[in-house]
Amino acid sequence: MSRIAIVGPGAVGGVVAAWLEKTGRHEIILCARRPIGELHVDTPHGSWTARPAVLTAPEQATPVDWVLVTTKAYDSAGAATWLKGLAANGAPVAILQNGVEHRERFAAFLPAAQLVPVMVDCPAERIAPTSFRQRGTAKMVVQDDARGREFVGLFAGTPIEASVTADLKSAVWRKLCTNAAGVISGLVLQPTAVMQDEHIGELSRQLVRECIAVGRAEGAVLDDSLAETVLQAYRSAPPDSINSLHADRLAGRTTEIDARNGVIVRLGRKHGISTPCNQMAVALIETMTRGAGSAELSRR
């Protein structure tokens, strides 16, 4: 039986904890900022109650076999406070977050060899502090190496589609292309239906084209057709879908704007690539979320 600690009992963490516990092969330890009870999960494959162990302070953490970090990108430093105890014996630490800078966010806290970046596509939301809804198939992709294959094995027997790729860099940049265009909903506070508009569609293409250019400069293999593929995926999604940046803005929370669009601007600058649409989106979101988003402003 593997001991798996999950740091961040939010939408992704709650769903992943419930599925891993359901295998009966793992002991699950949830690392939370506040006390939580049993988890009620509703998934396309059934609803049930999970009862993982819960820790509420990093000092309580003892070594485990695997750590899965499922906080938002902007909470990475806080998540890292758990690693001293949890990963003391060299346990691999999987980073289940959006963006392309999984390693960079944790480089100051752990040796690179312990980090396992994960491209996570898990449509889920936390509808109450201990109630979670998974809306569709969850997919995870990791680099094809020994640790990556071990990570995939954790999910054996669950409907979570975990797989390896020889080119994780391209996989995370492809996901970033989708996230980059999602800023439109976060700006206008309108669900995915807004993408049907002709002018909004062109803006989506531009945001993604900038992401493609910067991603290629970083070494990702990205096809020009992605700009259209991303737009068509938004246009065929349920019109009332709300992405997490939009949800965070509605809730007055900090957003992941730096991990989703700010990174395109920063890395574009490094390569001499102009990213005016993403730059404007970042400036507007930061201005509108000043206060909630002060952490992002101070990082620029």
Catalytic site positions: 175
Of 108, 22, 115, the C-alpha closest to 67 is: 115
Torsion of CA 73, 74, 77, 80, to 10 degrees: -30
- On whether the CB atoms of residues 42 and 133 are closer than 8 A, the answer is yes
Closer Cβ to ligand NAP, 104 or 202, answer by number: 104
Q: How far is the CB of 198 from ligand NAP (least distance, A)?
A: 28
Pairing state between β 131-134 and 161-165: unpaired
Q: Considering beta carbons, is residue 238 or 276 the nearer one to ligand NAP?
A: 238
Which lies closer to ligand NAP via its Cβ, residue 70 or residue 192?
Answer: 70
Select 169 or 217, whichever has its Cβ closest to ligand NAP: 169
* 240 three-class SS: coil
Residue whose CB is less far from ligand NAP, 70 or 143:
70
CA distance 31 to 5: 7
Structure-block tokens of residue 2: 């593997």
Q: In what order do the strands lie in the sheet with 161-165?
A: 53-55, 26-31, 2-7, 66-69, 93-96, 115-121, 139-143, 161-165
Lookup: tokens for 140:
């995870």
Comparing every residue's Cβ against ligand NAP, the nearest one is 10
Interface positions with ligand NAP (CB under 6 A): 7-13, 31-34, 70-73, 75, 78-79, 96-98, 120-124, 126, 244, 256
d(CA 56, CA 34): 6
Q: How many CB atoms within 10 Å of residue 297?
A: 13
Q: What are 9's two structure tokens?
A: 């009992």
Specify whether the CB–CB gap between 215 and 268 falls below 8 A: no
Kindly state the smallest distance separating residue 41's Cβ from ligand NAP, in Å. Answer: 13
Shortest Å distance, C-beta 98 to ligand NAP: 3
Task: Report in angstroms how near the CB of residue 138 gets to ligand NAP at its nearest.
Answer: 8
Closest separation between CB of residue 23 and ligand NAP, Å?
A: 20
CA atoms within 13 A on the CB side of 235: 15
User: In the complex, what is the shortest distance from the CB of residue 67 to ligand NAP, in angstroms, rounded to a whole number?
Assistant: 12
Which CB, 129 or 239, lies closer to ligand NAP?
A: 129
Cβ burial of 284 (10 Å; 0-12, 13-18, 19+) is middle
